[in-house]
């Protein structure tokens, strides 16, 4: 369960206990006990409702991951058909790299929702496939096809925190020429 949720539950519990203790000092003994039992039951119901909502959100994330993979496959198939028909292989590969990066962003966000953080640069995109040693609540794999490579067979570069996305991460490919720099690099920070 994410840390902020645990904090909310703890704060609610502390409030109820504080309220119940105040009532305990002013009410007759039987009424105080009954009030404490009622408050405890109300708190238990709220916690149970909250936990069920968290489970529903986790199920929604998993469903979105599946839909995203299906859409990716359909888009790649459509672009590959277009590539064969139009002989613009370079543009089809560039488009496929943009799609890959968008899909990796979805997977990284799902990782962050589950674990409370993004993978470190040293863990890299491999953390989306295999659970890192120092992470809790990992619910992956977040991508189906192992460590991703760009359409030119090179690994995507991942940095967290990013140089361009300082509060998130940078993902990029060196593009068709396989060299850093130039106007053919494909990334998640430029328009």
Q: What is the pLDDT of residue 169?
A: 93
From the first residue on, what is the mean pLDDT of each consecutive set of 10 residues in the chain (191 residues)? 53 55 58 78 79 78 81 80 65 90 93 94 93 91 87 93 89 90 86 66
Q: What is the pLDDT of residue 11?
A: 53
Phi, psi of 175 (to 5 degrees): 80, -165
Q: What is the pLDDT of residue 178?
A: 87
- For residue 87, how far is the Cα from the chain centroid? 37
pTM over the 0.75 mark: no
How many Å apart are CA 78 and CA 151, to the nearest integer? 15
Summarize the chain as % helix, strand, coil (round to 5): 60, 5, 35
Domains contained in the chain, CATH given: 3-187 (3.30.700.10)
């Amino acid at each position: 369960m994410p840390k902020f949720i645990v904090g909310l539950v703890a704060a609610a519990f502390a409030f109820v206990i504080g309220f119940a203790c105040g009532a305990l000092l002013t009410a007759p003994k039987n009424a105080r006990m009954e009030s404490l039992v009622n408050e405890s039951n109300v708190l238990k119901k709220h916690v149970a409702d909250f936990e069920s909502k968290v489970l529903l959100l986790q199920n929604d994330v998993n469903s979105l991951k599946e839909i995203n993979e299906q859409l990716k496959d359909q888009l790649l198939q459509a672009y590959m058909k277009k590539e064969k028909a139009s002989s613009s292989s370079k543009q089809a590969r560039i488009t496929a790299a943009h799609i890959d990066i968008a899909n990796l962003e979805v997977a990284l966000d799902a990782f962050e929702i589950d674990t409370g953080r993004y993978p470190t640069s040293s863990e890299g995109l491999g953390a989306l496939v295999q659970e890192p040693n120092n992470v809790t609540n990992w619910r992956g794999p977040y991508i189906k096809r192992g460590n991703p490579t760009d359409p030119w067979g090179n690994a995507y570069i991942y940095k967290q925190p990013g140089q361009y996305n300082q509060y998130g991460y940078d993902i990029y490919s060196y593009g068709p020429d396989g060299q850093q720099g130039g106007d053919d690099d494909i990334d998640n920070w430029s328009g």
